[in-house]
Amino acid sequence: MSPTTTTVTITNSPPTRISTWSRIRTSPAVLAGVAICFTLIVLAVLAPWIAPYDPNRQGLGIQLADPSGAHWLGLDSFGRDVLSRIIWGARISLWVGVVATLAAMLVGSTIGIIAGYFGGTIDRVITMLTDILLSFPQLVMGLLLVAVLGASLTNIILAIAVTAAPAFIRLARGSTLAMRERDFIDAGRALGFSDMRIMFVHVAPNILDEIIVMGSLWVATAIRTESTLAFIGLGVPPPTATWGGIIREGFEFLNDNYLLAVFPSLAILITMIALNLIGDGLRDATDPRAPQ
């Protein structure tokens, strides 16, 4: 009898994984999202070769010029090429979005696993601090942090990571607690594994799926915060091109030529739509309650 039981358990787990990935692959929405994101990443990485002009070179023509054959998206108030600035701006947005999310994911999940694993006072303190951070509007908190630390690429990433971390702490803590319910952890202890080994070899891989799904949704939030900070004037300082920064500049000349504000806005919208298509697709695919 026992060989039969073994085959049953073995064949039982892979299908969910296969169907998860096949569901992602077959969803046209997710495919579109992936295609757009891939294009954006290629543009960002190859910006120095793809951008038609130096993004910071001034006086290429009449200030605030309309789109033309030479400058597809026109010129800004310093006579810089808007298309080139948007392509270079993608670098900042994507970099900040990915790095800040990864940082929040790593640090937040670690803290969350520790809280859920040890419980007791450690858990209570971490939960209290998380609640305090979460009781504040994420945007306002990011704003305050950057204002205090000073606007630089590193500080912006740091500030966004801090605002994003509590969500990962909560998720990882909850999932770890759920695993403790399943006697997973006690079994590991009984086998004499060290705390570190149980937490990072046994617990972490099991909650990775959820964390990655949430991470994919947070990249969009991080980019949104980055561009918002830049719009308020707390972005990577000029002359560096950022999408939020270009909109801020275009906003000053809204009555003269609003296209300067519209083009980077569209760049943000396209990025947001693409990331949300991927994030929603991932979430639907991993959600056991989702319709097949």
CB of 187 vs other proteins, minimal distance in Å: 32
Q: Are 175 and 184 in contact (CB under 8 A)?
A: no
What are the C-alpha distances in Å from 182 to residues 105, 123, 185, 188, 212? Answer: 24, 19, 8, 12, 22
Q: Per CB under 8 A, does 1 bind other proteins? A: no
Q: Per CB under 8 A, does 177 bind other proteins? A: no
CB of 133 vs other proteins, minimal distance in Å: 8
Closer by beta carbon to other proteins, 59 or else 137: 137
Partner residues linked to 75 by β-bridges: 81
Q: Residue 35: which of 286, 271, 280 has the closest Cα?
A: 271
CB of 194 vs other proteins, minimal distance in Å: 33
From candidates 144, 158, 177, 204, binder to other proteins by CB under 8 A: 144
Closer by beta carbon to other proteins, 104 or else 113: 104
From candidates 42, 45, 140, 201, binder to other proteins by CB under 8 A: 140
Partner residues linked to 81 by β-bridges: 75
**Which two tokens mark 166?**
């509590």
CB of 248 vs other proteins, minimal distance in Å: 9
Q: Per CB under 8 A, does 251 bind other proteins? A: yes
Q: Are 88 and 51 in contact (CB under 8 A)?
A: yes
Please give the Cα distance from 67 to 64 (Å, whole number).
9
Q: Are 208 and 172 in contact (CB under 8 A)?
A: no
Closer by beta carbon to other proteins, 50 or else 107: 107
Q: Are 97 and 222 in contact (CB under 8 A)?
A: yes
Q: Per CB under 8 A, does 137 bind other proteins? A: yes
| Residues engaged in binding other proteins (CB under 8 A) | 128-129, 131-133, 135-140, 143-145, 147-150, 220, 224, 227-228, 231-234, 244, 247, 250-251, 254-255, 258, 261-262, 265, 268-269, 272-273, 275-276
